[in-house]
Structure 1
């Protein structure tokens, strides 16, 4: 007979996958359901990294039209983030994640505020930010993903809003590529250096794949203004959640 907690993990993966692919922040759902299923906190974080790969895989596959003409840009960001993610995994395995846990709520409040106050960029205005700064910013985002990763999608999406001239749908698709590649590199490191709870991880990954496929399809039928409010509200909810967890 199928364990009820595994069913909960599966459906938690679907909900988390939709949230992550639309805005970012699957951990507000996926992390707690892993804890409920009996996975210890640090291993829940690591197992969640693996499951999120399938969420981003589904989201990227479902965002083909948004990524058309933007693959080079997305991969440039993703490779930069991967360098940081590899370093972040070393930090996680060497030091407790308590430092980042205390900073995450602040990041999320700032990100939510950025979404609400941010003005749409003029697409005719070319940004002149040097590539080296873009690499540094993305490497820092990747390091955060590898070390803790809670709500990293929201934070990356907020950064992309100011880093590019693209519309929200394109930036969201680029975010899924960045986070997906960073999660793959981090998880490969974890496989060889840590313990993975494979049973829970497989059920969570299956749910996230479905959620990842559904998210971008839902996003196309929602107004950008509404999405900005949804992302901001999710960021603030997650800020409260991670604040309670950390303090």
Structure 2
């Protein structure tokens, strides 16, 4: 790798980290950048997973003082995220990719619409009753995050906004926390057994950490209503793109 390629990977990692924290769609930036570098789809996928763990690390480090205010919640979410990541990684190895990929565009589209309609959905009593199943939802999204991951941020953000009373800025923190841990589990397996391109992974991880670090203060200054619209549009765009690719 030349100095310019390394610099490009750091820049792509920073953009992916910041965009990923805000919208939950980091891989829309990082994965194409790795493909453009010349990596095969498989190598790009595992390298991306390893590098993007740093995004969660940066955002968690930046928002640690806020997260520790509710330690029981953090312990529960950590357990669910790690367990889900283990199951998802195992499914990736044991189950054929087509088993779950066919429904992913639909799930992402539903999550995007839920984010857009979140204020109204919270007012509905039948939706409010879903709060008791929030841990189950977190576990299932963590499984998906360890298995495939595209759009997982949109899913966990929608789940948190609809099923809890958390404001958008804190929901984004919880999203980064859960997916960071779930991705870490998958990344450990990829690091041991996958074709990780380590120079690219390290360079992108440096940028991703910085982008994740900048994420919390940026989200805190963005109008929640406008941010919901942006995330919903990006999520629907990702769902349409994945549907085109897979169908």
TM-score greater than 0.5 by the shorter chain: yes
Partner Cα distance (2:122, 2:109) in 1: 25
Q: Which residue of 2 aligns with 1:181?
A: 181
1:34 counterpart residue number? 34
Is residue 60–residue 176 contact of structure 1 (8 Å, CA) maintained in 2?
Answer: yes
| Preserved contact between residue 157 and residue 171 of structure 1 (Cα < 8 Å) | yes
C-alpha separation between the residues in 2 aligned to 1:243 and 1:122? 29
Deviation at 1:39, TM superposition (A): 2.1
* Paired residues of 1:52 and 1:205 also in contact (CA < 8 A): yes
Q: Deviations over 1:53-82 (max 9, x none)?
A: 110111112223542423321331231122
Alpha-carbon spacing, 1:132–1:219, altered in 2? closer, same or farther (3 Å): closer
SS of the residue 2:119 aligns to: coil
CA shift digits 1:131-180 (9 cap, x unpaired): 98444322211111111011211111111112211111111111111111
Matched, 1:25 2:29: no
Show structure 2 runs of 5+ residues with no match: none
Q: Which moved more, 1:174-183 or 1:93-102?
A: 93-102
Measured at CA, do residues 114 and 128 of structure 1 come closer, stay the same or move farther in structure 2, by a change above 3 Å?
closer
Structure-to-structure mapping, 1:1-247, within 5 angstroms: 2=2, 4-119=4-119, 133-247=133-247
Gaps of 5+ in 1: none
Q: Check 1:26–1:88 CA distance in 2 against 1; reply closer, same or farther (3 A cut).
A: same
Larger fraction in helix: 2
Tell me if the contact between 1:48 and 1:201 (Cα under 8 Å) persists in the aligned partners. Answer: yes
What TM-score, normalized by structure 1, do the two folds share? 0.88
User: Secondary structure in 2 aligned to 1:69?
Assistant: helix
Distance 1:218 1:133 in 2: 30
